[in-house]
Structure 1
Amino acid sequence: MPPPNEQRRAQLTDAAIDLLVESGVHGVTHRAVDRRAGLPAGTASNYFRSREALLVATAGRVVERHQADMADAARAEPGPASGDGVQRAVDLIAGSLLLAAGPHRARYLAIFELRLESLRRPSLAAALDELMAAMASFTSGHHVDLGLDIPPAAIPPMLVMYGGALFALVTGPVEAVTREAALRLAVAIVEGGLAAARSV
């Protein structure tokens, strides 16, 4: 059996992201995803046998796109560089917050919808926890590649604080998403992560 068409999977999960933002979890059905993606009826169910599998794949798509954004940031600053690694971490996190809460706002609204739904779906919660663990590992490696002065023990609390900051920006007024606000939050994230790592 040939491997699934990854482009088609992406098309379906991107459609599910749009539906999550517009209608919440209850609006995400196989039929609705097919319609939104402009694909024949039954396509989504061929790729995702259950609604839960569709929701998990959609969460995975958000994480995949987030990692691609981080990789783009790394390419803009390839390899370790001289200078204050902590300040560079602040700048990168501020840029990430601006991108996530601005042009990519919908995908993070979608992941928050999924996180709330996971309170009622243990298997979705487990899948999201696995994705977050993979994200922590990816982020740690990303920091090493860039030569940032962030110890591994700081990464988990930084991810929690990043998630909280992003939630505030994404669910608040669009006009509150400014470079200054993102920088203040990024400083708090980095300083809080470093303080947590020192206390371990």
Structure 2
Amino acid sequence: MARQNVARRAALIDAAIEVLAEQGARGLTFRAVDAEAKVPMGTATNYFANRDELFTQVGSRIYERLQPDARTFELSLEGPRDRDRLLALMRETVGRISAFRSGYLALLELRLEATRRPQLRAVLTQRIRADIDANVSHHRESGLPGDTTAVLLLYLALNWLVVERLTLPDIFTEEEIDGLVASAVDRVLA
């Protein structure tokens, strides 16, 4: 596949993320993806055999885009490995994930769609499990406080906090969100 084709595939998948976030799984059509990507009609059908393939490609791409960049990862290892460092990392994580609003909303759509599409469920299960395992492993190797259960509880609590922030943004103020992140860290470390 030519380099241009790889870039176009990525652009189509990114367009599909936007369509999922705006229109939901039912709105994810090849025509909608072509329109969002501003490419000639029929382009997406040349890159994806069917909607199932498009769904699974989107599921993988969202996680690529949600990963912290190399500098953020390096910063996570700088300084003392204490409660304040862990809190800073959790605040960064909530902020980074919330900043990719369309990606997170598309991921929620994919999770719902996965209840009806076994292939998508398999892809998401594998990808999310790998992400959780990587987070636990990184946490253990970093020397930060807290055990595996603490990481899992923070994962679960902060994911739902992001859902609230993105879907019903008037429920909690930014100050309340910041306080809830701090409380979650304090409680799992208690």
Q: TM-score when scaled to structure 1? A: 0.80
Alignment of 1:64-83 (within 5 A): 64-67=64-67, 69=68, 71-75=70-74, 77=75, 79-83=77-81
Partner of 1:190: 185
- Deviation per CA, 1:16-74, whole angstroms, max 9, x where unpaired? 1111122111111122212211223333233321201111211211111111x364422
Contact 2:81-2:142 within 8 A present in 1 as well: no
CA contact (8 A) 2:79 2:85 kept: no
Report what 1:16 is aligned to: 16
Q: Find the counterpart in structure 2 of residue 88 from structure 1.
A: 85
Alignment of 1:142-153 (within 5 A): 142-144=138-140, 146-153=142-149
Verify the 8 A CA contact 2:81 2:143 in the aligned structure 1: no
Taking only the aligned residue pairs, the percentage that are identical comes to 34
Q: CA deviation at 1:187?
A: 2.9
CA displacement, residues 131-189 of structure 1 (integer Å, 9 cap, x when unaligned)? 110111222344356442232343333322222111111111268451x2332232344
Which AA in structure 2 matches 1:149? P
Instruction: State how far apart, in whole Å, the 2-side matches of 1:61 and 1:177 are.
Output: 30
What is the aligned residue count? 190
CA RMSD of aligned residues (A): 2.7
The residue that corresponds to 1:53 in the other structure is 53
Q: What 5-or-longer segments of structure 1 have no aligned partner? A: 196-200
Gaps of at least 5 residues in structure 2 are none
Instruction: Supply the AA of the counterpart residue of 1:156.
Output: L
Separation in 2 of the partners of 1:71 and 1:159? Answer: 21
Cα pair 2:81 2:144 within 8 Å, conserved: no
Deviates more, 1:150-159 or 1:14-23: 150-159
* Shift in CA distance, 194/51, structure 1 to aligned 2, threshold 3 Å: farther
Taking the aligned partners of 1:81 and 1:3, their CA distance within structure 2 comes to 40
